Chain A
């Protein structure tokens, strides 16, 4: 799978991405590629800079150094670091979800999905003028938007909850709805920040199926941060490992799982026999990076 997808041109190319907050380097010279129709997982211990990197890609931070190039299938190129946040979602087609769910809790489930189609509907409503007087062209577009929302509600099994306030949904349903809302922006790259957090094993399994179907049917690239190793190892085609802001390993799940650096940094402190040595190395590493960042 990895070999196949890597052969194509990359959807997202991250080059030398660095993000500093004062003296702290949260993301340090990270380069990797994410592909269309592939699930790229970003893993790493807490504080490794995963969410910071996400925020750079989706325009919530502007990176200190680096280039984020998005190549759409139609040949359009976007340099995400130069776009304002809302254009990254609206024009370039990068949608995201949040670690702590950010729905519109007082709006209904359906409304959440309609708001996600804002840019298209806004255009169809002639910047509100046509819509205000109920032009039929706008009404048709709105109906299409509802149909699209219905399609996604059906996929995430929330069709009978369409007119309920989003805040009243159960936690797992809210997670699914947030993914559907992101998909309603019709993205080429879907960025998910810990989508399995707080889900039970059954829900987590359903999420895996949903993500696989998004990859296979909608042909979008998925970039996901995840702590749940069962999700990462089962569905990802490519894994990127960050530690202290640096990229320490990259490859298919199998190779990453067996990479000693990764094991040391993240997966298996208890699996490792030479524990004292590991801790010593870890501390040395920590000290190095600490000193490095104070100089920077």
Chain B
């Protein structure tokens, strides 16, 4: 930044500039905190009294000052090292000069790395309940996290791949939950029969939502999907005769292990612990639910990864990139969008029926807008379209949310702060790398006749 310093090549910092910046930030913090933290209305005999907490204000302002100062220094350091050593982002910048073999090497490295991480995470998820730290609380939290992972993977189809910003995803979660609850209540069908039905119903609702929004993009689409999510919730509240309105539905059938219920005693037949000759433990059901959602989530992941490498998945991504170009290539944008909505909604529906069977009780209160926002935040923070990113983001958001439970009212603050920090550090999400769905290097040229014109694949069509 400064000529004298930079020519010497030293890493001296411009303390004054950083200090100015920090003081400015501290002033803003002072303005904000003086009323919110500085004064407090307390109950006192004869009415409310104003208590002051200026020490809190001081702490807050000092924190902001120190933080901003550090950020400013870090940025200076980054600028300097970037300009001197060219440390910037070599992989991105030099892509134009990479040779084909370097590109394929890089892709292979990344692929191997993501495979390793994926395997490690699956292993960790499988062995988590067997580890000594696993108590009921941990497994319950893990179940919750995995549910959100599954929801995130489902929404990833719509938002990450097809690029359709959906703020009403929780509607499909609700449809799935209520489908299972109502079908099992009215027709007495078991969880395993209801699960596909719930998925189908949610998928149908996805298409119903899809039709009116086909022509919309971006912000407009987001607003309509937001409205759709609210419509579903309001219908659930007001259709008292069917859904029980705000009272919700209780006594929902719990899942059984291939017909063996998790209960102390069964009305007819054996229970799980009797069949396997175990002592009754309430942990059995908790563990079963955990592994159930884990399997469902992994199946979702498998399906999404497969779909991505199929023509339909590539069409979704192409649609995200350029809808007009898609039309000029013979891709039907209507069908492509509807399938994205339907398949995304279907996975939401599966997760919803799991939610219903796990809770045993559902009410419209579980399906408010903030749920949609959290799921969307998971997808965006994870890095749009990245499967592993969704896992990281769920662990950070949902797990972190539980972790900070002791902080009471500051929990939301920590939550918001974490989101801001992630977005500052990684504006494209935790993992923003996009793995190509197909590579030339994976598929070596067919010998010498690479020069000859192969028959166009479309000849028969």
Residues of chain A touching chain B, judged by Cβ–Cβ distance below 8 Å, are 58-60, 84-87, 89-91, 95-96, 98, 102-108, 110-111, 114-123, 125, 128, 131-132, 134, 141-148, 150-151, 153-154, 159-165, 168, 170, 181-182, 185-186, 217
Chain A residue nearest in CB terms to B454:
A147
Task: From known contacts A111-B436, A168-B95, infer whether A217 and B453 are also in contact, taking CB-CB under 8 Å.
Answer: yes
CB distance from B168 to the nearest CB of A (A): 25
Instruction: A98-B324, A118-B331, A163-B439 given; name 16 further pairs at CB < 8 Å.
Output: A102-B328, A107-B318, A110-B436, A111-B317, A118-B311, A118-B314, A118-B329, A144-B455, A146-B440, A147-B454, A150-B445, A154-B450, A160-B99, A163-B104, A163-B107, A163-B436
CA of A280 to CA of B326, assembled, Å: 45
Residue of B whose beta carbon sits closest to that of A101? B325
Asked whether B327 is an interface residue with its Cβ less than 8 Å from the other chain, the reply is yes
Residues of A within 8 A of B452 (CB): 151
> Bound state CA distance, A181 and B310, in angstroms?
18
Q: List 9 A-B contacts (CB under 8 A).
A: A86-B332, A96-B328, A98-B325, A111-B438, A115-B318, A115-B329, A162-B439, A164-B95, A181-B329
Using Cβ atoms and an 8 Å threshold, which residues of chain B touch A153?
440
For residue B307, CB closer than 8 A to chain A, the reply is yes
Alpha-carbon gap, A128 to B327, bound state (A): 19
Cβ distance A148 to chain B, nearest Cβ, rounded Å: 5
Across-interface contacts of A144 in B (CB, < 8 A): 454-455, 457
Q: Is the CB of B303 within 8 A of A186?
A: no
Residue of B104, B450, B454, B458 near A185 (CB, 8 A) is: B458
Report which B residues bind A (CB closer than 8 A): 95-96, 98-100, 103-104, 107, 303, 306-307, 310-312, 314-315, 317-318, 321-322, 324-333, 339, 434, 436-441, 443, 445-446, 450-459, 461
Which residue of chain A has its CB nearest to the CB of B96? A168
Given the known inter-chain contacts A115-B318, A186-B457, please indicate yes or no for A90 contacting B438, CB distance below 8 A: no
In-complex Cβ contact of B453 among A84, A151, A159 (8 A)? A151
Q: Report which residue of A98, A111, A122 has the largest number of chain B beta carbons within 10 angstroms of its beta carbon.
A: A122
Q: How far is the CA of A26 from the CA of B98 in the complex (A)?
A: 46
Contact check, B458 vs A162: say whether CB atoms are below 8 A apart: no
Residues of A within 8 Å of B451, CB to CB, are: 154
5 nearest A-B residue pairs (beta carbon): A90-B330, A162-B440, A104-B321, A89-B330, A186-B458
Whether A132 contacts B306 by the Cβ 8 Å rule is yes
Residue numbers in A under 8 Å from B450 (CB-CB): 150-151, 154
Q: Which of A87, A95, A125, A217 contacts B311 (CB 8 A)?
A: A125
Question: How far is the CB of B445 from the nearest CB of chain A, in Å?
Answer: 6
A160 to B457, CA, bound (A): 22
Complex CA distance for A95 and B107, rounded to whole angstroms: 32
Q: What residues of B have a CB within 8 angstroms of the CB of A114 in the complex?
A: 314, 437-438
